[in-house]
Amino acid sequence: MPELPDIVVYLEALEPRVLGQALAKIRIVDAFVLRTAVPPIDSLVGRKIERLRRLGKRIAFGFAGDRWLVAHLMIAGRLQWTDGAAKPAGRNARAHFTFPTGTLTFTEAGTKHRASLHVMDGETALRAHDPGGIDVATSSASQFAAALVAENHTLKRALTDPGLFSGIGNAYSDEILHAARLSPVALTQKLTAGERARLHAAAREQLTAWTERLRREAAGRFPERVTAFLPEMAVHGKFGQPCPVCGTAVQRIRHADNKVNYCPRCQTGGRLLADRSLSQLLKADWPRTIDEAEERRRPSSSSE
């Protein structure tokens, strides 16, 4: 799922291409992607885009007359840009928006149809699509701490709650927790003041660093490598690979609806977290520490 760094870079790429441009044509390829009927999406044709805005992981296009189009990419949705009159890509296309400068294509891989488009009038209707989480990059330490401890959840759940923190999903929450050296299943209300401050600093640093990295990679082009699995990541998507800090194999559990990647030495004091399905299946055979797991992997020696 595109998260805050991806959405920011998408917006920066869209601004010189569509801001101030009148929408010339719309072609909806898959009718299911459009989740509203009033106002009709065709009413956007002929209107100029006057504003672009991020609402968590959503992109909002503000047209003349205070009419808005909100795109929620969800897990598999992406944006593609085709310059000028060139034919836009047709693979996985859900909708095409043609401007004098080129065509913006809304794509979604797979068959689950989670990505969506909504058309609405006015700021009040637009605010209903904003989950309301705070922007970590501009939040103070006290604002961050207040959002964090509002309810007693695991750190993984809290960081990925869009009502608490804006734009953080499964990938960057793994990276933030690794950088902060905190367990993904630690409870928010059990953290010390020092741990809360460390998490705040790590969140700001990781989101800023990844935004800058993606911005450099795009280098003015429209972003193409928008993925949750990047080779430069420390733990996300790196199950079984060595942690870049200590060399320990990255571990993975399934927590709620997400897969959680973490380093047991850097984040959990050498303790292996219990995977809900595997630990129940293996019970007493489930290793409790990374040392125990490594001991079990060693071939047993036999004397003759």
Q: Which of 108, 111, 157, 159 is nearest to 133 (CA)?
A: 159
69 φ, ψ to 5°?
A: -120, 120
Q: In terms of pTM, does the model score above 0.85?
A: yes
Task: Using CA atoms of 128, 131, 135, 136 in order, give the dihedral in degrees to the nearest 10.
Answer: 170
Return d(Cα 123, Cα 55) in angstroms, integer: 12
**Does residue 269 contact residue 246 with C-beta atoms inside 8 Å?**
no
pLDDT at residue 280, rounded to an integer? 47
**Does residue 186 contact residue 149 with C-beta atoms inside 8 Å?**
no
Give the model confidence (pLDDT) of 261-295 as tens digits.
999 999 999 999 987 554 443 344 445 566 555 55
Return d(Cα 100, Cα 229) in angstroms, integer: 34
**Alpha-carbon distances of 4 from 8, 166, 174, rounded to whole Å:** 6, 8, 14
Give the model confidence (pLDDT) of 187-245 as tens digits.
999 999 999 999 999 999 999 999 999 999 999 999 988 998 999 999 999 999 999 99
**Does residue 114 contact residue 131 with C-beta atoms inside 8 Å?**
no
Span 136-218: which CATH code? 1.10.8.50
Q: Is the dihedral of CA 277, 282, 283, 286 positive or negative?
A: negative
Worst-scoring range by mean pLDDT, 101-110, 140-149, 283-292?
283-292
pLDDT at residue 206, rounded to an integer? 97
As a whole number, mean pLDDT of residues 41-50 equals 98
Return d(Cα 69, Cα 120) in angstroms, integer: 7
Identity (one letter) of the amino acid at 105?
A: T
pLDDT at residue 87, rounded to an integer? 87
pLDDT at residue 60, rounded to an integer? 98
**Does residue 86 contact residue 121 with C-beta atoms inside 8 Å?**
no
Give the model's confidence band at 85: pLDDT under 50 very low, under 70 low, under 90 confident, else very high.
Answer: confident
CA atoms within 13 A on the CB side of 189: 5
Domain layout of the chain by residue ranges:
4-127, 136-218, 251-297
Angle, alpha carbons 57-112-224 (nearest 5°): 50
E strand intervals along the chain? 25-28, 49-55, 58-63, 67-72, 77-83, 93-99, 102-108, 116-121, 251-255, 258-262
What value does the mean pLDDT of the chain take? Answer: 91
**Does residue 193 contact residue 176 with C-beta atoms inside 8 Å?**
no
**Does residue 154 contact residue 188 with C-beta atoms inside 8 Å?**
yes
Place of tokens 């200590």: 246
Residue 156, C-beta contacts closer than 8 angstroms, at least 6 positions apart: 173, 177, 184, 185, 255, 256, 258, 260
CATH among 3.65.10.10, 3.20.190.10, 3.40.1350.10, 3.40.50.300 for 4-127: 3.20.190.10
As a whole number, mean pLDDT of residues 6-29 equals 97
> What distance separates the 2 farthest-apart alpha carbons in the chain?
87
